[in-house]
Structure 1
Amino acid sequence: MTNEEPTGEETAREGSLLLDDQLCFALYAAQRAVTAAYRPLLDELGLTYPQYLVLLVLWERGRITVKELAGALRLDYGTVSPLLKRLESAGVVRRERAAHDERSVLVACTGRGEELRERAARVPGVLRTATGLGGAEVARLREELRQLALRAESVAERSR
């Protein structure tokens, strides 16, 4: 994201209530389209998109607390808990109380969860190819979206 001066067209649209002028709608539509593009690949793995995100964190970090997992995914405990319950029922993850703190629950992949990692390794490349985005474009877009998320989180925190 740059701090360039807006063009005349952009300035005229600032107060627009047209759907297509809304940043939130563009993000919403893009998120739905990307998630839909993932669906057939994740169906082959027997995973939903949110379950895939849980596994990405566990594959990266190993055994962590549910609180850490929720923080990494920017979700609340009440949203993460049902995801973990379904993944545990499928034999993909296991949960256990931490020995050092009974209030804390640790979550980790099972052997089946680690096997899924090998099969899932092709997913990012297939999606990048399908979208036609190059590595530099993906990196730029990802960074712009991270910056947008940080700014939006800052606004949300100030309004609390």
Structure 2
Amino acid sequence: METNCTDDQVQDLNNQLCFAVYSTMLGLNKVYRPLLDKLGLTYPQYLVMLVLWRRDEVIVSEIGQQLFLDTATLTPLLKRLELRGLVSRRRSTRDERQVIISLTEEGRALQATAQEVPACVGTAMKLSAQEMREYRERLLTLRENLFSSCNCPPEA
């Protein structure tokens, strides 16, 4: 694909797709932070809780695959959630190398409080439901294309 960009256009941050994605994520973080502070969660912890609220009792490697996080990153995060009393960790009886993460009662109860988060973020985005679906689909396609082009699927 041929592009006709001048040097000034290439060097302008606002012409860089990667910068648009990066700076948008910074904006999302600013919206999420106060909402997640109320829950006592960081954004990565919130993502783990979303995985567990959807399906309890998940092996650490499965959580890592879903969130594109490796075990070295995920383990301390899970330990902090366990110290908070939101999850428990136990070895699988079938394969002791596997650790199963389960919600505690407190972790399950937190879901009710977290219900408002997606709606608040959606309101801040000021997009229609259709626009949100379109952005999500495009971003998922972009992510898939990037990982497949470099033969570097995220390791979990």
Aligned to 1:150: 144
Residue 13 of structure 1 and its aligned partner are, at CA, apart by 2.8
TM superposition score normalised by structure 1: 0.88
Q: Distance in 2 between matches of 1:88 and 1:42?
A: 17
Aligned to 1:94, the other structure's residue is in SS state strand
1:34 to 28, 33, 36: 28
Aligned to 1:69: 63
> Which 4+ stretches in 1 moved above 6 angstroms?
none
* Equivalent position amino acid for 2:76 in 1: P
Aligned to 2:4, the other structure's residue is in SS state helix
Which of the pair has the greater relative contact order for Cα pairs under 8 Å at 6+ separation?
A: 2
Q: Distance in 2 between matches of 1:116 and 1:18?
A: 43
CA RMSD in angstroms, aligned pairs only: 1.7
Q: Distance in 2 between matches of 1:13 and 1:41?
A: 40
Residue 74 of structure 1 and its aligned partner are, at CA, apart by 0.7
* Equivalent position amino acid for 1:13 in 2: C
Question: Alpha-carbon deviations, 1:102-140, whole Å to 9, x = none?
Answer: 000000111111111011011101111122111111111
Q: Distance in 2 between matches of 1:157 and 1:21?
A: 26
Establish whether residue 13 from structure 1 lines up as the match of residue 18 from structure 2: no
Q: How many residues align?
A: 150
Q: Is residue 13–residue 21 contact of structure 1 (8 Å, CA) maintained in 2?
A: no
Identity %: 43
Residue 156 of structure 1 and its aligned partner are, at CA, apart by 2.2
* Equivalent position amino acid for 1:36 in 2: K
Q: Distance in 1 between matches of 2:121 and 2:86?
A: 23
